[in-house]
Amino acid sequence: MKKKNIGDSIQRFGRTLLLPIGVLAPVGMILGISGALVQPYMMERFAFLANPNLNAILISIRSIASVVFDNIPLLFAMGVAYGMSKRDKGIAVFASTVGYLTLIVTMNVWLTLTGHMADPEVMTQLGQISVLGIQTMNVSAAGGIITGLIAAWATDKFYNLELPTAFAFFSGKKSVPIITIGLMILIGGTIPFIWQAFVFLLSKMSVIILSAVGPFFTAAGERLFIPFGLHHVWNAMFRFTEAGGSYVIGGKTFVGVIPALNEVLFNQGPTSQYWSLMPSLTRFMAQQQMLVTLFMFPAIALAMYRSAREENKKEVKSMLVTMVLTAMLGNVTEPLEFTFVFIAPLLYVVYACLVGIGAVLLSFAGVAIGYIRGTIFDFGIFGLLYEKTNWIFLVLIGLGMAAVTYFVFRWAIVKFNIKTPGREESQNLDSTLLKEKRYPEIAKLVVEGLGGKDNIVNVDNCITRLRIDLSDVRKVDKSILEMSGTSGFFFPADKHIHIVFGPQVEFVRNAVDDEIRNN
């Protein structure tokens, strides 16, 4: 039971990271567009960008968007608290906010009392940073994550705390932020003593990640963690911690790939001497995803279509085209990956290795396309708009990897008779309910297929899947679930099911909540 609870907690933690990361992605696109259009080289190319009014608007947009990235740890504190708490999520988020403020102030006090407070001009080189106007230790996103976990735990533990009558005013919900503050004072006073050891371990890991074959492990690892919903945890490790390296840019030290990439991409620009860092940073980022969404996915879909039974090809084509477009336009890959990961896990491992090999080739070719997402829009913004990105090599390597991927998948599907979409005699490929956005009907089938509302313990969702805790998995009727239009479902843990609906999952989840509440 304890092992199961730990597994469930890790699963839940993985999906909590989606909220802050989900905010970073679109804001990063806005920051990228505005940042690119105010660069001197871009204004030389397009004279209208030098218009004072337009330039002022773009700079203002960049300044507004950049505030999100200046407070990444706070975003993680709130996001983790919201996702991990099971009780009052609002109280958890409030407690995480005051808890994070307490953490950075406590570390500020420790630095002052011990005489370790650095001069502001050199503080970043000594592992210190200014957050919300407070100079403190640079614990980056890890500080926010720790705070979020503490706030969530305190919420669930002390949500109904009863105190003696004299202190009754501070009982219940009001006790949660108070307790969180106390705990964060203790943690803030302890972190400075253990942080060096933690940084040392992450730095040792960075030796592998930052090596010539590092992109293989980051890209292949992300694909392998996707079925378990833990790829966000994997990505956050090298994107926001010392595992991704430390970089000195303009006299300031940036920890992790994303903070360094933000500085070079949005502030320094292609004319800066630091632009030479781009290939070493972007090799862990969007270009890996673009290799998948823009090149390998169409190849996989084509292999599946060519391998399908003739009578199923029409429906298969419609479904596969939707999945490919979902990846190319929305950066969502799970629907297509889930069509073969559980019926052909070895093929999925081969696929992950192919992605890793492609990522290494992009690195050797000096491709420098940032940011996080791998959509066709990001390719246009960060690949074509910026100079010195070597985007042509992404196209050439992508086409080569697409050809290899197609032949590997076509051979494996036929050779081992893998039941990819369209290869079964009786197929349930009808996604009409989802296409027509008939969410109440979908919800009714989901609830019925899961054994009724009394069998459903908790309903949650990530970007593409419903994640539902059940009382008894034996009550699940798979045939009913298949009628809902899902592209797949599986049981990653005892009494827990994932049901894939793609980017429309949040609307399905809301309808499921309504179905449970109203019936």
We report the CATH number of the domain holding residue 447 as 3.30.1360.60
Same structural domain, 397 and 480:
no
Q: Is residue 280 part of a domain?
A: no
87-96, 112-121, 137-146, 321-330: which is most confident: 87-96
Residues 391 and 384: their CA atoms lie apart, in Å, by 7
| Predicted TM-score (pTM) above 0.85 | no
Residue 411 has pLDDT above 80, yes or no: yes
What's the rounded Cα separation, in Å, for the pair 170 and 164?
A: 10
What digits encode the pLDDT tens for the residues 249-304?
Answer: 988 888 889 889 988 887 887 778 898 899 999 999 989 999 999 999 999 999 99
Q: What is the pLDDT of residue 427?
A: 45
- For residue 408, what pLDDT is reported? 97
DSSP for residue 247 = E
Query: Does 221 fall in a domain?
Result: no
- Cα 516 to the chain's mean position, in Å? 29
Domain boundary (380, 415, 450) is at 415
The reply to whether 229 falls in a domain is: no
Q: Are residues 389 and 500 in the same domain?
A: no
- Domain total in the chain: 3
3-state helix, strand, coil in the chain (%, to 5): 70, 10, 20
Strands 496-500 and 128-131: unpaired
- Residue 167: inside a domain, yes or no? yes
Strand partners of residue 130:
135
Pairwise CA distance, residues 265 & 277, whole Å: 10
Distance CA 7, CA 344 (A): 23
Mean pLDDT computed over 492-504: 80
Please check the confidence at residue 5 and state whether its pLDDT lies above 70. Answer: no
Q: Are residues 28 and 92 in the same domain?
A: yes
pLDDT of residue 243: 84
Instruction: Reply yes or no on whether the pLDDT at 17 is more than 80.
Output: no
What is residue 426's predicted lDDT score, i.e. its pLDDT?
44
Q: Are residues 56 and 106 in the same domain?
A: yes
Q: Is the pLDDT of residue 211 over 80?
A: yes
Q: Rounded to an integer, what distance in angstroms lies between the CA atom of residue 210 and that of residue 208?
A: 6
Is the pLDDT score of 485 beyond 60? Answer: yes
Q: Is residue 251 part of a domain?
A: no
For the record, the structure tokens of 160 come out as 């109904």
Q: What is the pLDDT at residue 514?
A: 92
Instruction: Confirm if 365 and 298 have CB atoms less than 8 A apart.
Output: no
Residue 241 resides in a domain: no
Q: What is the DSSP secondary structure assignment for residue 192, as one 8-state letter?
A: H
User: Which tokens sit at 352?
Assistant: 């992950």
Q: Domain check: are 40 and 133 in the same one?
A: yes
In a domain, 225, yes or no: no
For 427, residues 6+ apart whose C-beta sits below 8 A from its C-beta are 312, 315, 316, 421
Q: Which pLDDT value is given to residue 22?
A: 65
81 and 176 share a domain?
yes
479/407 same-domain check? no
Residues 480 and 346 occupy one common structural domain: no
Is residue 244 situated within a structural domain?
no
Pair (407, 439) in one structural domain: no
Interhelix angle for 89-114 vs 72-84, to 10°? Answer: 140
Same domain, residue pair 66 and 165: yes
Tens digit of pLDDT for each residue in 360-389? Answer: 999 999 999 977 788 888 898 888 887 789
> Do 351 and 393 lie in a common domain?
yes
- Tokens read off for 314: 């029409």
Write down which residue in 178, 209, 240 finishes a domain. Answer: 209
Nearest Cα neighbor of 231 from 497, 81, 18 is: 18
Please identify which residue in the block is written with the tokens 């169409």. 298
Residues assigned a catalytic role: 462
Taking the C-alpha atoms of residue 451 and residue 471, their distance in angstroms, rounded to an integer, is 9
Do residues 67 and 419 lie in contact, with contact meaning Cβ atoms separated by under 8 Å?
no
- Note down the domain range covering 362: 286-415
Q: Do 332 and 399 fall into the same domain?
A: yes
Return d(Cα 57, Cα 69) in angstroms, integer: 19
Instruction: Name the pLDDT band for 229 (thresholds 50, 70, 90).
Output: low
> Which among 387, 415, 443 is the end of a domain?
415
